[in-house]
Amino acid sequence: MGGSAFLMSILIFNILKNFVPFFEKYLGLASIIGDVTALIYGFYINKHWTFSSQKKDGEKYFFKYIVLYIITILINYGLLKLFLWALINYHILSENISLNITENIAKIMATAITTLLNFVGTNYVIFNHDGDDE
C-alpha cells in the first residue's frame, strides 16, 4: 500500500506544481498537499484492507496515524528542501537537467525515506502485529 500512496503523493505534487501557477513558488505546499492526500488514502487502505482484522477502535488508530503522518510530513518537507538545495548548490546533477526534473528527484528521494518511516510506524506502532495496542 505504501507504494501506491507514494505514487499518489508524487502525482499530486506534479499536478499542482506544473498546472497550478500558484504552486510554482510554493513547492513545499504542493508537497504537503500531496502527502496529506496520500495520508488519507493510506489510512483508508490500511484500515480496510491491509489491517482489516483490526477494524474496531478506528478512532484510536486514526489518531496514531495522524500523529505519525504529521511527523513524517514535516520530515518530508525538510528533506525536500535539503535535497533540492543540495542538488542545485552542489551541482550533483548535470547542468542540462531541468529544474522540474531536479524538483522531482528531490521529492522522490524525500518521499522514499518518509515512506519507509511510515511503513515502520504503521506496522509496528499503529497496527502492531502482536495484538498489543500500547
Q: What confidence score (pLDDT) does residue 130 get? A: 59
Radius of gyration of the chain (CA): 16
- The pTM of the full predicted model, rounded to 2 decimals, is 0.81
Q: What confidence score (pLDDT) does residue 44 get? A: 80
The C-alpha cell of 59 is what? 478512532
Kindly report the three-state secondary structure assignment for every residue of the chain. Answer: CHHHHHHHHHHHHHHHHHHCCHHHHCHHHHHHHHHHHHHHHHHHHHHHHHCHHHCCCHHHHHHHHHHHHHHHHHHHHHHHHHHHHHHHHCCCCCCCCCHHHHHHHHHHHHHHHHHHHHHHHHHHHHCCCCCCCC
The total number of residues shown for the chain amounts to 134
Q: Average pLDDT for residues 117-130, to the nearest whole number?
A: 80
Give the percent of the chain with pLDDT over 90: 54
Distance (Å, rounded) from C-alpha 121 to C-alpha 104?
25
pLDDT tens string 96-110: 899 999 999 999 999
Distance (Å, rounded) from C-alpha 65 to C-alpha 118?
9
Kindly tell me if the per-residue pLDDT of 59 is higher than 90.
no
Give residue limits of the domains in the chain.
Answer: 2-126
Confidence of residue 134 (pLDDT cuts 50, 70, 90): very low
pLDDT tens string 18-58: 999 999 899 999 999 999 999 888 878 876 765 555 556 66
Of 91, 105, 36, 94, nearest to 66 by C-alpha is 36
Q: Average pLDDT for residues 59-88, to the nearest whole number?
A: 91
